[in-house]
Amino acid sequence: MMLKDSRRGSRILRIEGGQPLSGELRIYPAKNAALPILAASLLTPEPITLLEVPRLRDVEVMLELLSHLGTRYQWEGRTLHLHTPEIRNTHAPYELVGQMRASFIVWGALLARVGEG
């Protein structure tokens, strides 16, 4: 169901029900989109492929953080393959989280995946 938010004029998509989602979604490259998507990769043990990922410092730091938590990743040009079959750590070193203000965005996905923080 597509809804329009009259306060800001933006469109939002509300999905209701307990049905699993699957498929492909094209997201155009931007750091502000890439970081939450990278954090969301923690939600699944399945492999994920992201296209047109910007190779920025914050993206690289986020990948180091995800790697510390258990994610394996590989670049192929601007395509990024991620796989987190299991979470190995639930704590991140300050040396990583201190480099990026957006590091807190992994908390929700991490909590959803392992049930602790």
Q: What is the DSSP string of 49-85?
A: EESS----HHHHHHHHHHHHHT-EEEEETTEEEEE-S
CATH number of the 31-114 domain: 3.65.10.10
Give the separation between CA 41 and CA 76, rounded to whole angstroms: 18
Hunting for tokens 């690289």 — which residue is that?
60
The domain ranges of the chain are: 31-114
Q: What is the pLDDT of residues 42-72, one digit of tens each?
A: 999 999 999 889 999 999 999 999 999 999 9
pTM: 0.73
Which residue from 52, 78, 62 is spatially nearest to 110, judged by alpha carbons? Answer: 62
CA 93 to chain CA mean position, Å: 19
pLDDT digits (tens, 9 = 90+) for 72-109: 999 999 999 999 999 999 988 888 888 888 778 898 89
